Chain A
Amino acid sequence: MKTTIQAFQSLRISVASVALLAACACNGTDGKGTVTITTSGEDYIENGLSSDVFPHDHWSVKYSKFLVVYHSISIADESNDVAARLDHPLVFDETKKAVGNPKTLATFDLQAKTWPEVSYQVGPISDDAAPGDLAADSDVALLKNAQASLHVEGTATAPDGSQKTFNWSLAPATVFEGCHGLQDGKDVLGVTVTNGGNQIVELTLHGDHLFYDDLQSEDAVPRFQALADADANNDGAITLEELDAVPLYTIPIDKGSYGTGALGNVNTLGDYERTLARTIGHYRGEGSCNSKEVNVQ
């Protein structure tokens, strides 16, 4: 095993050095290009999650509102020196499908080279937040009034046709950093700006994550039955207060493991939903980032 560590470290150091050398080599170029940052909730948020997405309990979900505030975006070099930032927070309703041009946050002029550090932050809401493409002033006001950075409303339908609604204002402050995703068919860390070119970088939100049944496992799948069962007064509306009243250990295993991985502070379904809200951010479709909590105290 010692040789495994040795070999792995040797390779790790070697490729990092090569990458840094490559970055050095590119620093001398004079070319420029642009990066356009866009956002999308894809089919799951724009059109809904069919019962096929819930392989065990076969519920389906249709969002009617999915408000999110992008608090910041940055593009930086390998030393994390930032070359481009978002001017001010922007609010989007990801249920609103763009027609023609995508919903756009900003366009940056950058030196033509690879910028390996692309990060963005969801939340917190702040006074300078403004509506982005297709969002309304009332959407911004809703988030500000609730001091929320993510607000979701929707209807879930059981296999028997019965329905539950949800209307949750959540306040994650999460930075998604070290993003990587496909560019021209290759997995690229950050974004490669080409001379005279324009790269579209989509910040993609995954609406199925709010229903995952494990916080750490790669095998997590969406479920809804345990959330539906949390509707204690059976009025058809699942509230965050009702989710807070459900300890995870009371959920029967056939309704999901609701595993929390190594996390030590997730004890109720409410805690669980607030934690899932920190996992929704992706990059250029199926690309991903490292997500970290931002301390806003």
Chain B
Amino acid sequence: MTEWRLANTALVLALLAAGCSSSTESGTTGRIITLKTQASVDDDLTQAKTNALGFSVTLSEAYLSVGPLYYYSGDPVLSLRTSPKASKLAALSRLSDWLVKPAQAHPGHYTAGAAMGEMLTPTTLALHAGTVNLADGDGVTGNTNSAKFTWQSPAQGELASSLRGHVILTQGIATKDGVTVKFIAKADEPDVHDGDDKAEVAGCAFGPTPGAVGVNMDGNGTVTLTLSPSVWFDEVDFSYVAPGAANAPTPDADGVVDITGTLAWQGFLRGVKKGTAYEFSYSK
């Protein structure tokens, strides 16, 4: 591998010596860096959050299995166009990505581009625990624009048993118009598969401005995975599982209903697959 790299470097140096200099970003990309990793929760889980259907949702318990995390140069799917200045950088980045591996995806479909970093150690998070340090990852310097979140199954880490075999397990209370639903919402690994049949969310935003070529990882730093469990519940219509609703699940002895298999659960599964629930950022 070293010889292969030397050959490449020699080729570039030879061509550079042949007469064209360039002030491209190539001089600042490609250096190996260490990326510390942390996970934080965007929502204040001590407070109720009102979802799009008017239900006020409070989580008393929330566990998430986290698998490897990957960071890429490609823009998130169908992102906003960048500024003219950033477009120039995007053009250069696209050129180099295309030369390595031409993107064959249909327009609208996510093209990851070059691998810019990764964190490979799975763990289990208790979302009420606040910001948690994950294992260190590694990467290379350069513009990073999207990321892939994956679920690990079976779950790993000290808290893995809290998931009871699932990849997401939550418990809480939803209220609306005087109706209260105590619920369990959970997902197994097959439930979270995407359209490519993988337990992952590809094309998540990396950085504060999705699509902008401006998240320049220019040295050792920290990648933060910010989780928004409120996104998971934004489309959950708890009226399908409320007491007295047709075909509502039978509550347990504590009055808690498991929403699995209901339309409320289908809304939950759509939420857990949304990229806006898993956003990535970088800081030095």
Contacts and interface: CB of A to CB of B under 8 A. Distances in A.
Interface stretch (B14-22, B159-167, B180-188): B14-22
Pick from B76, B78, B97, B196 the residue with the most CB of A within 10 Å: B78
B99 A15 contact: yes
A279 interface: yes
A262 B192 CA distance: 12
Contacts of A202: none
A18 B12 contact: yes
Interface in A250-297: 250, 257, 259-265, 267, 275-276, 278-282, 288-295
A96 B39 CA distance: 54
B188 to A, nearest CB: 15
Contact of A279 (B97, B103, B107): B107
A14 B4 CA distance: 12
* Main secondary structure on B side of the interface with A: mixed
B238 to A, nearest CB: 13
A16 B96 contact: yes
Interface stretch (B87-95, B122-130, B150-158, B243-251): B87-95
A279 B274 contact: no
Contacts of B79: 292-293
Q: How large is the interface on A (under 10, 10 to 19, 20 to 34, 35 or more residues)?
A: 35 or more
B81 A10 contact: no
A267 B20 contact: no
A259 B273 contact: yes
Given A19-B99, A20-B22, A263-B78, A8 B115 contact: yes
A20 B24 contact: yes
A1 B106 contact: no
B121 to A, nearest CB: 12
B192 to A, nearest CB: 11
Contact of B98 (A18, A21, A178, A281): A178
Interface in A230-266: 247-250, 257, 259-265
Nearest to A27: B20
B107 A8 contact: no
B30 A10 contact: yes
A258 B4 CA distance: 44
Nearest to B103: A288
A137 B271 CA distance: 44
Given A281-B107, A293-B78, A260 B94 contact: no
A289 B106 CA distance: 8
Interface string A56-74: 0000000000000000000
B109 interface: yes
Given A215-B77, A216-B77, A290 B94 contact: yes
Interface residues of B, number: 82
Given A3-B1, A260-B273, A11 B11 contact: no
A3 B1 CA distance: 8
Contacts of A7: 1, 4-5
A189 B4 contact: no
Given A7-B4, A267-B235, A262 B15 contact: no
Interface in B148-206: 194-196, 201-205
B227 interface: no
A82 B107 CA distance: 22
Nearest to B68: A1
Nearest to B31: A9
Contacts of B82: 292
Nearest to B89: A80
Interface string B200-241: 011111000001000000000000000000010001010000
Interface in A112-153: 116-117
Interface of A: 1-21, 24-25, 76, 78-80, 116-117, 175-178, 180, 187, 189, 206, 209, 214-220, 247-250, 257, 259-265, 267, 275-276, 278-282, 288-295
Rank and list the top 3 A-B pairs by shortest CB-CB distance, nearest first. Answer: A262-B275, A217-B195, A264-B276
